[in-house]
Every structure is written in C-alpha cells, then in structure tokens.
Structure 1
Amino acid sequence: MPVIQPLKDNLSKQIEVYRELKELADHMQDALVANNFQELEAVTVREEQLMMEASRLEKERLLWSDQMSQMTGKAAEELTLSELAVRYPELQNVKEELEIIIKDLMNVNELNTRLLEQAMSIVNFTVGMLTYQDKNTYRKPGIKNNQGSTGILDQKI
C-alpha cells in the first residue's frame, strides 16, 4: 500500500520528537529540583520548538489518515492506530514504540507538574509570610498597623 509507508515514516518522526520531549522533560525535572532557572528557560524554549514540530507532523498524519479512511471505508476520526496495526502489521512496531514513549512522557510530565505545584506552594507560603499582617492582610499603601509599620517590606531587617 503506497499510503502505509508515508504514514509509518510520519509516525516514526513523531516518535523521535516525543523521545526528545521526554529527554527535555527529564532535564526539566533535574532543573526543577536544582532550582536552575536558566536551564528551565532553555528547556522551555526547545520544548516549544518541538511542540511546533509535533503539531506539524500531526497535521500531516491527519492527511494520511484521510487517505487511510478511504482505503478502509471507515471515517478518519474513527480510525485507530491499533486497528491499522492489526490490518497492516508493518505498523505494529511503530504503534508499540509510540505507546511506550507517550506513556513515559506523560509520567515524567505528571511528576514535573507536581514539582512545579510544590514550588508554587513554597513561593505562595513565602510571599504570605513576608506580607503577613496581624489582622488585615490587605491594606492601602501607607496605612500603619498597630506596631506603627505598614508591613515587613518597610521595616529594617
């Protein structure tokens, strides 16, 4: 089938993009733990580039799916890679690799999300402690509390 090989090539390229995204997610995890903000920024920039490439490849895949739907008589949105791999065994390895890398990427991203949430909780707690007021947390600037201060930021430390 002339459509199978280009679809397989497209999926193989997607696997490579997802592998690199997984490596970046691992680097991001290390940077989060080390509080290395420059590394986080570099990872994020590269991640954005890869996401644009993944999007481009996905659009291309949808074109191949349209052609596959004509061959199978099934609507493109109803076609799954599992079904295609059963019908066209040459897609089986690509399907398995794609499932593995996406699962791995999802796991690392889930952990990174939790690390980011923890970091944000620490930041929120720290900001809360720095801006804590006895009774009223929110004051108009210049209004003094019962100790004669407008908050920690205008006291000598």
Structure 2
Amino acid sequence: MHAHIALDGPAGTLRVTGAGLPAVELVRAPGTPADAHTPIGTRRAALLTLTVDGAPAVIRPARGRLLRRSYRVDVRVGGHRYRLVPCSYGESRLSRDGRRIGTLESSGDGRVSDAWDAGPTPLDLAVGTALAAAFGTGAAPWWETVGDIVGELVAP
C-alpha cells in the first residue's frame, strides 16, 4: 500500500489517498489565517474538519508548548483511538488504542517516511500518514526548549 499526499498548507487542505486506502481529508476552516509552525496551518481543533472515507472523525491536536507530549494529536475514527506523539527530534510514534504501531517522520513538506512495528491496516496507514503530513513530526526535549528561551532572554 502506498499513500498519495496532497497538502496545501496556505489553503488549509490535506488529502491522503491510495489504492486500498480509505480517503482521509483534513480541512482548516475557510478564511482562517495559517500559523507558520503547522503544515495544515493550525492546531485548534475548532478550526479543523476531519473525514475518513467521507465519514466525520474527531481530531484533537494538543497546543504544542514545552513538552514533547504537548505536540500530540488524537483522533477517534472507526472505533479506534489514534495518537501521534513526538518521540525524538524528527520522529513521532503512532499508537492505536494505546498500543504503539509505528514511527513516522515528516518535516511538513508533504512527504512522510514510515516504519511499522507490524503490517499496518489500511486505516492505520491512511490516518498516520495524514497526521504526520498535517502536523509534522518530532520535537525538541523540554530542557532544550527552556535553554533556548533563557538564552533569548539574556542575549544582548
């Protein structure tokens, strides 16, 4: 299975399709400005609409602050709970119903690399790819972020 990713960050649209995959669409509310740090343009759930094979799904991105966990994205679809959460500088771990199923990497350029713990289901592949493409992956550890903030405050 191979996923095709169509991401238009400025317009706030993402579509993931592929042979044998459910189509995943994520859309930012029309007319809302895009933030520069998120490929889809926002982390505000109220501004996002997610559908999987045409059926609505629930998406809840966390705010993205100090801790890696604050960059997690939760989705409920097809009776499953998915979570994408950073696990290193460049990678994020995908879990389904609390069990790790793979690792994804995307710098926000509309391309996603993946490594699966076992063969992913079509839903796993489509949802994981969409989340990685829409929100990017990875994050710095909290202590490095705090050091950067302190450095900015004391710099001349």
- What TM-score, normalized to structure 1? 0.27
Q: Which has the higher helix share?
A: 1
Bigger Rg over Cα: 1
